[in-house]
Every structure is written in structure tokens, then in C-alpha cells.
Chains A and B, each alone.
Chain A
Amino acid sequence: MSHLLEVKNLDVKFDTDEGRITAVENISLSVDQGEVLGIVGESGSGKSVTAKSIMKLNPGNTSYNEDAEIILDNENILQFTSKQDLKKIRGGKVSMIFQEPMASFAPAIKIGAQMVEQLLIHKNINKDEAKSISINMLKRVGIADAEKRFNQYAFELSGGMRQRAMIAMALSTMPKLLLADEPTTALDVTIQAQVINLIKDIIKEYQMGVIFITHDLGVIAQVADHVAVMYLGSVVEKGPVNEILKNPKHPYTKGLLQALPDINNLDAPLSPIPGNIPSPLDRPTGCVFRTRCPHHNPEGKDGKIEMKLIEVEPGHWVDQCGIQCGQNG
């Protein structure tokens, strides 16, 4: 069966004053209809850049490698150049909930007007219908006084409300693929629980595929079917969510789990992964994690082992050096 979305061997590079930055290297991912793929990873690991590539939203200084493919519905998005084609994906087949809530609402246009405009571009409906769909969606994401909020500007809403309005806007066009970049980060837990249930319901109802980016492993545990762990532009481990969280193999995945504050054990110190993420300008050769790793695999330390995902259990993939490294610690 073909996947709804398939990303194959994607590199994303940015040209900057200081040189060429590799933000994403050799990533392969897939999402099926009705499935949620979670992406976790350190700040700067390339999660947003990956998601934006799927809508070709990265800025002008971006370059993609020639043999990369992003196949959505049997079409390679990376080949799209015309406005017409891009319109089909942006807000049509694909919707994105952005990490930066202010960025997706124009400050001088009322929230409702923006929702209606987007619906009119992508759906064959009239203004009144668009308005009622929008208000319904605002209600579904738990916004009180939806009719009033419809007439307000983004800056007039609290952070969490703004986030929910954005989720409503992204879902209102019923895309085939939803890219959710930290969609519940600004929400308090009770509303987060509601929004997660809402997103799950809608995925089921419309058989949407979802890429769900978050740094909250608890949220990943509750929403995702599969998860990919990213570090410095590379996927170091991926597989079914249960498998990854209960049986992590890569030292980076293990480190992430150990850094989680545990509400049941307040005396445990918060243990960050030691060291700093290197600048993407001097990305380590070999295993990207080797400047911070516990080095249980001595050859990995010298950067002699090339990165390559190996299947260790059905569907559970781990970087080849990381397998040995993780076994010993």
C-alpha cells in the first residue's frame, strides 16, 4: 500500500553569511492515512524545517538535494514550482499549525475574516457557509463566545486561546495531512487533554494523516502511533511509540527520557544531557551525537562510523552506532 506521505532521503541546507548550514540530513519518514507520526528532538534539531519542507515554506536561501522526494498522494511536492500547484498543498491538502502563533494570523485582520478567506480559497462554498464552519470550529476547540472571538484580532486573545483559534483555522479546511508544530505547548493541561482528543477524533473522522511535533514526551505517548527522534538534523531512532518509549536503544533517546521532570519523584534532580548541541555549521562527521555521547562504542567517538538506521525489531529503527552504544549503558 502506498503511504499518504513519504519523505525519502531529504537534505535541507541554508545558505547564510557564515556558510552553508545543514539543517536536515538524509531523513526518511512516512505517514499513513489516519496515523499520527510524532517527531521529538532537541531545539534546533530540524523538526520545524522538516515540516515546512512538506509545504515548501522554507525561505529563499534554502536548497534541497536532487534525489530527495516528498511524495504526497503520489505527487512529488519538491517538483512543484507553480503557484497553482503550491496552492493545492498549502492550506488545501496540507494544513500547518505553526509553532509561532502570532506568525499565522495577520495582525490587522480579524481572526474570523482570515478563517473565512482561507475557506473561500480552498472550498467551493459561499461566505455565510464559511462563517458558520469557522464559528463551529472555534466552538469545537473550546473557545467560549466564539461569535465574539470571531470578530477579534489575534493580539486580543490569550496565548492559549490564540493557539486554539489557529488549530481551528488549520482543521476547518479538512486537509489530508495536518502538520502540527508544537500545537499544545501553549495550552494548559486540561485544555491540552481536550485538544488532543479533538485532534484524535477529527483524524479518525476524516482519516487525516498527522505529523505531530512536540518536545513533550507525555503528549507523544498519548497521541502518536509512531515516533521519530531527531538530533541535529538526523533521525537517530524511530518506531512504534510504545517500543521507543519503553525500550529506547539510542543514548540520545535515553537521555531525553531521563531529562523529563517526574512529578512522582520531586527529589530527583533534573538531569539534562551534558554538553551543548553543536552549531549546524560544524556538524560532526559520523554520528552527530558523538560530541555529547557517553561513548560506549569507542569507534563512534572518532566519527568513524557512518550514520545508518538499522531495524532492530520489526519497525524499530536505530542508528547503527547507537545500537551498540545504547546496549552498554
Chain B
Amino acid sequence: MGDNLISVNNVSVNFDYQENFISKKQKIHAVNNINIKIKKGSFFGLVGESGSGKTTLGRAILGANNISSGNVIFHDDERDYDLTNMNKQDLKEYRKKAQLIFQDPYAALSPRMTVRDIIAEPLEVMKITNSRQETDERVRDIAAKCRLNIEHLRRFPHAFSGGQRQRISIARALVSNPKFIVADESVAALDVSIQADILNLLKQLQTELNLTYLFISHDLSVVAHVCDIVAVMYLGHIVEMGPSRELFKNPKHSYTKALLSSIPSIDPEKRSEAIELKGEIPSALNPPPGCVFRTRCPNPGVDCKGGEITMGLTEVEPGHWVDQCCVL
């Protein structure tokens, strides 16, 4: 296990769904049988369709979602934490070590707290600092690292635009000195210049503070630039995973290929050469049997159409994994 920080073993997460009181209970299969290892110090990327389960998986790894089956192990220096089997004390310690930078900076920040209090809150809740002075010092320190002005600290979040708020949530996530960060669409709301700036900042903080990231994003160009490993999710499954350069240069799965072709070109005359995916994303209430992508696959094989095949990753190049049926 030596160089892995996190092992996700056969993890599934289901949610209950009931249309109304008399209809029968159904299950939303948000995350299905996922296996990943996140190396210490890596920038692990998670991309995929909206609703494919990225946030749910991220939250499961943070211990914020129930895990329906399988387990997640956090390998700390001295000991392992099994997230499916933690007592209150463990959970408290784990919270200091694993933090989330939210997807939606609007929902995340309490409107009645000053920016200083928002950033300081984790320190106070987790009783990390011993005096107000120490708290203030750490807040100012991390705020400066995230390039927030000191004058900003006295203000309330409503007076900030989206990008500024995202820096506040990054500062808040980093103030407790965590080892592992889930960054869920953390740069999606930012304009390109600040995005480049924040990505450089996250990279720099990674080396400075020894961080490991799970980086969830829709933006493949961003992921290609910052992540060392990328996993592609579709409807609760990982369909392809590998070192990012290899994966972007040599995509194997039909869904990955379609994704890469859909990146909007900056050239207005080059109107989309996207492999168009027809139809709707199937519902996680009723995922199709067999390959989950087959209802939209532009070139399904004969075997795929019937839905008889079983999903599962197979290694095609060292470290490059693809869903087995797409390889055959």
C-alpha cells in the first residue's frame, strides 16, 4: 500500500427514491463497484457526464455519503482509516485530514458570516488553534496564499463575485492543513485568467503543503493540464482510466473519444467536429444492462446491443485501463 493515500475498493452508493407515498421504493445507482487507488502527492482527475456520480464518489471518499457496499481506506502515515468502519473519534480526526472545496461557491458560504469567520470556522470547530491571535494569523496566512486582500476579510460573501468566493472556499478548505483535498468543479466558475492562476496555486500548494487531490471537472483541457491520472465516469461506472497524457493521446473507449471531440474549439470557423451523442443520458434509476453507454454509443458492437456483456476494467497499456467490452 506504501505510496497510496486512498484505496477505493468495490464501492457502490445507492440512494432511495420514492415518487410519492404509495408508489414503490426504487434505488438510484449513483456509483457502481468502483476501484481506484490514489497515490500520495498525485493530482487525480475525475471527469464524466453530469449525474455520472463524480460528486457522490468524492463525498463517499470524504466520509460524507453512506457507502452501500465496498470500502474506502485512507492510508495515513501511522495508521489506516476504514471509512466504512469509523468511530466518532476517528471521524473527527479524519475531518482534519480530508477536506472539500465546493462545486457551488454560492451555496457553500454562509451569508451572515464575515470572510474572516468563514475561513476561521474549521479551525474553531475542530479546535485546532488555541487563541484568537493564532486563528487570525492562520487565516491571514492562508488568505494571502489564496490571494485575498486583508480588507476582504471584514466583508460578507454577498459582496463578492463568483471567482472571489471560490478563493474564499479554497482558503477555508486549506486552513486546517489537510492532506487530501476533493476539489469539485472548483475552477468551473472562474474566468480563464483566474482559473490559470488558481490551478497554478493548487499545484504550488500541493508541493508546499504535501497535498493529494481528487480533482473533479468537466473541463477536459484543464484536467489534461493539471492531472497526472484521469478516470472517466459514465452513469456510475469508470469506463476508462490512465495517465492523463496517454489517455488524452490514445483514448480507447467510445465515450472518452466522444468527450474529447466535444471540447468547443476556440476557432469560430471550426464549428464543432464533435462526435454527436444522440439521445438522453439514461436515468440512474434504470441503468441499461450490459455496457451502460450502449444506448448512446455511436458504434456499438453486435454483442453490446443486446446488453449481455458485463462491465469491468482491463489493463491495455501499463496503467491504462478500459472497460473490457469496449476493448474486444
Contact = CB atoms under 8 A, between A and B. Distances in A.
Interface of A: 14, 16, 18, 40-45, 48, 99-103, 139, 142-145, 148, 151, 157-161, 163-164, 182, 185-194, 196, 215-219, 221-222, 241-242, 245-246, 255-257, 259-263, 266, 270-273, 276, 279
A256 to B, nearest CB: 6
14 contacts: A40-B191, A41-B191, A144-B282, A160-B50, A185-B188, A186-B103, A187-B50, A188-B52, A190-B277, A192-B262, A263-B248, A266-B224, A270-B196, A272-B197
B39 interface: no
Interface string B188-207: 11111111110110000000
Contacts, number: 188
Given A186-B188, A261-B222, A48 B161 contact: yes
Given A40-B191, A193-B272, A256-B191, A160 B163 contact: no
Interface in B68-121: 103-104, 106-107
Interface in B268-285: 268-269, 271-272, 274, 276-277, 280-283, 285
B49 A44 contact: no
B142 to A, nearest CB: 16
Contact of A43 (B49, B162, B268, B271): B162
A256 B147 CA distance: 19
Contacts of A270: 196, 199-200, 225
Given A102-B106, A276-B147, A259 B196 contact: yes
Given A100-B106, A217-B192, A261-B196, A43 B280 contact: no
B221 interface: yes
A166 B109 CA distance: 22
B131 interface: no
Contact of A221 (B106, B264, B283): B264
A48 B276 CA distance: 31
Given A42-B194, A262-B221, A185 B267 contact: no
A276 B146 CA distance: 11
B195 A159 contact: no
A163 B106 CA distance: 14
B265 interface: yes
A250 to B, nearest CB: 14
B299 interface: no
Nearest to A99: B162
Given A159-B50, A270-B196, 7 more contacts: A102-B107, A145-B283, A193-B272, A216-B264, A218-B265, A221-B266, A260-B221
